[in-house]
Structure 1
Amino acid sequence: MSKSPGHQKWPDHKVQEKHLDQSIQVSINGEAVADSSDVIQVDEDQHPLRYYFSRSDVSMDKLERSDTTTKCPFKGTAHYYHLNLGGQVLEDAVWTYEEPYEEHSALKDRLAFYDDKFQEIHIAPGPKA
């Protein structure tokens, strides 16, 4: 892993990670796609809160790898997945950092959902695990 060029260039830009001590669920149209008590919340300047889930707590059978990638100067290269729900495909609805910059190594291989991009996605606290 290498150092983040974003943090070096803009040292005042905040990207804070916090392990949550509660269960978080992602459901779309009533169908659960993630449920975990191992979630990292990321609070980044000028972005909505994001929740990063361990792959073992996500319904990976509903994900299909996309060719889409984006580059974040703070976290690294994001790789995307389409989310397949009973014939409905939400394109590039999920992303992961497989080789994040060292400042965000805790996000490695975790999955996050575009809860603001697709109104069908609802993230809410679940019951205590």
Structure 2
Amino acid sequence: MTDPQVGTGLIREAKSIMADNARGRVKVETGAKRVRLYLENRLVADTLTPLLVWEKPFYPTYYVPAKDVLADLKPTGESEHSPSRGDAQVHDVLLAGATAPGKARTVPESPLEELRDAVRFDFDAFDWFEEDEPIYTHPRDPYSRIDVVASSRHFRAELDGVLLADSPNSMIAFETGLPPRYYVPITALNQDILRPSETVTHCPYKGAATYWSVQIGEEVRDDIIWGYRTPFAEVQKIAGLAAVYNEKVDIFLDGVLQERPKPRY
């Protein structure tokens, strides 16, 4: 059984991070994972002391201590200003046979002392690993978690009065900072209105998601439904199931219409 004081502490910490960001301060802490990043299979940096920096309140990014950077950084002469982190110098990342133009930043005179000797690499430009596992989109937030539990509450989803999905049960994913997501068998979806989508997104906690759009009359609503065919081991219970955007559709549980959550961002 989880210690309720631990859960309370995590919630308090997450709220503190959001409050600090709202006031213009940025939380910085040293991570416990080995972090490596690669450019075209060439090692750019390897650190045991990555910095987790909450530039946005919802998730962190990594800064790498300069001493652990193996690539050459060439200043471009450009700079970017942040009220909380100071003036950043933009750099090209250079390795033998590989270059990432303008994909690194340093803030040597940052008001945040921890960042002065660190490098921020653009996440999407490199292949990142925590220990020996690849990560996507952004680093995992140590204050976030996902619980997937089975539910026998009858699930129904509609859009403009048209049935999207109907299932006597579901798997509910409870993820920090997000509304519950209800995953049901693909066969529970209204196959007549499903349209394939080429959209693929990556979640650092769940893996790669593929999408369906829906067509109601002549109108196509893009990427309303998604699923994870091969999710990460931690959330295997949603493998092969599908979920709908609570924020965009009407969801009924045991016949009761649920309030639509507001979009997170």
- Provide the TM-score with structure 2 as the length reference: 0.42
Counterpart pick for 1:104 among 198, 217, 235: 235
1:37 and 2:165 matched: no
Deviations 1:54-110 (A, max 9, x none): 111111231111111110011000111111112221101111101101111111111
Residue 36 of structure 1 and its aligned partner are, at CA, apart by 0.5
1:79 and 2:199 matched: no
Match of 1:21 in 2: 152
Unaligned runs of 5+ in 2: 1-132, 256-265
Match of 1:124 in 2: 252
The structure with more radius of gyration: 2
For residue 61 of structure 1, give the secondary structure of its aligned residue in structure 2: coil
Unaligned runs of 5+ in 1: none
Residue 30 of structure 1 and its aligned partner are, at CA, apart by 1.5
Whether the 8 Å contact between 1:4 and 1:101 is mirrored in structure 2 is: no
One-letter amino acid matched to 1:99: T
Q: Cα 1:31–1:14, aligned 2, differ >3 Å: closer, same or farther? A: same
Match of 1:48 in 2: 179
Residue 115 of structure 1 and its aligned partner are, at CA, apart by 2.2
Residue 52 of structure 1 and its aligned partner are, at CA, apart by 0.7
Deviations 1:23-75 (A, max 9, x none): 01001121212111231111101112111111111112311111111100110
Counterpart pick for 2:200 among 47, 69, 86: 69
Percent identity, aligned pairs only, is: 26
The count of corresponding residues between Structure 1 and Structure 2 is 121
Q: Distance in 1 between matches of 2:227 and 2:216?
A: 19
Match of 1:88 in 2: 219
For residue 209 of structure 2, give the secondary structure of its aligned residue in structure 1: strand
Residue 126 of structure 1 and its aligned partner are, at CA, apart by 3.2
Residue 22 of structure 1 and its aligned partner are, at CA, apart by 1.3
Q: Distance in 1 between matches of 2:216 and 2:229?
A: 24
For residue 192 of structure 2, give the secondary structure of its aligned residue in structure 1: helix
Residue 12 of structure 1 and its aligned partner are, at CA, apart by 3.9
Q: Which has the higher contact order (CA 8 A, sep 6+)?
A: 1
Q: Distance in 1 between matches of 2:154 and 2:182?
A: 11
